[in-house]
């Protein structure tokens, strides 16, 4: 009888990330507020007590999920931006990267919506505010850079464009939640960003 292969022992940060991703996955098809730590433990294949060795409370796990989501999204946005050769191309790449992230991790917007509705949830609100502030700064800088190079019309404002772009992607994500179709945001994003780019492009 062959010996059973040894399972790699995860480090504490790796286990924390595994638990967070399990929560995000479960939240994709269930009310995030009703996802229990027991369900998360079962999905990962660890004991219930193991969850609390890494997160002292369920709220701490939720906060970690929001932090993981923000970090992962910003990394994708920056990668999309770096791979683009112009301001408009970078704007499109970032928009599509965000749509892809939302479609691939539908539990993330469900968690955010759930947590932001709770009165006094300062940690969640602060994390989301920080994320979108960073996001808006990147978009505004892209627009100003495009204006300086003559690619984007001088008539637009970078900060206002950031509000438009963020509002558009947030609207798509919320509509996909209402429709119950995570893939919808991925399907609609190319057409929406094309309209935005056309309005920004210097004629």
Q: What is the CATH number of the domain that holds 191?
A: 1.10.357.10
Say what the pTM is. 0.87
Q: Please report whether residue 85 resides in a domain.
A: yes
pLDDT tens, residue by residue, 167-202? 999 999 999 989 989 899 999 999 999 999 999 998
The HSE-up count of residue 83 (CA atoms within 13 Å, CB side) is 11
Cα–chain center distance at 63: 14
Q: Are 88 and 143 in contact (CB under 8 A)?
A: no
Give one DSSP letter per residue of 157-174, joined into a string.
Answer: -HHHHHHHHHHHHHHHHH
Give per-residue pLDDT as tens, 99-136.
999 999 999 999 988 888 877 767 777 778 888 898 99
Per residue in 122-143, is it b (16+ CB within 10 Å) or e — as a string?
A: eebeebbeebeeebbebbbebb
> Is 91 contained in some domain?
yes
Domain count within the chain: 1
Q: Which domain holds residue 164?
A: 63-200
Q: Evaluate whether residue 32 is within a structural domain.
A: no
H or E element that contains 10: none
> Quick check: is 75 in a domain?
yes
């Amino acid at each position: 009888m062959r010996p059973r292969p040894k399972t790699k022992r995860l480090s504490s940060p790796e286990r924390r990330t595994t638990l967070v991703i399990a929560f995000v996955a479960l939240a994709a098809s269930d009310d995030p507020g009703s996802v229990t730590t027991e369900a998360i433990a079962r999905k990962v294949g660890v004991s219930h007590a193991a969850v609390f060795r890494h997160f002292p409370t369920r709220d701490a796990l939720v906060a970690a999920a929001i932090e993981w989501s923000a970090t992962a999204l910003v990394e994708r946005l920056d990668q999309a931006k770096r791979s683009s050769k112009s301001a408009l191309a970078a704007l499109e790449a970032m928009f599509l990267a965000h749509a892809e992230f939302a479609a691939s991790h539908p539990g993330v917007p469900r968690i955010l919506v759930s947590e932001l509705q709770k009165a006094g949830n300062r940690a969640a609100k602060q994390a989301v505010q920080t994320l979108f502030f960073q996001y808006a700064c990147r978009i505004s800088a892209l627009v100003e850079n495009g204006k300086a190079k003559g690619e984007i019309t001088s008539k637009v404002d970078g900060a206002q464009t950031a509000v438009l772009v963020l509002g558009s992607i947030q609207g798509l994500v919320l509509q996909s939640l209402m429709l119950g179709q995570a893939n919808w945001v991925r399907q609609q994003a190319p057409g929406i960003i094309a309209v935005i780019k056309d309005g920004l492009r210097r004629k």
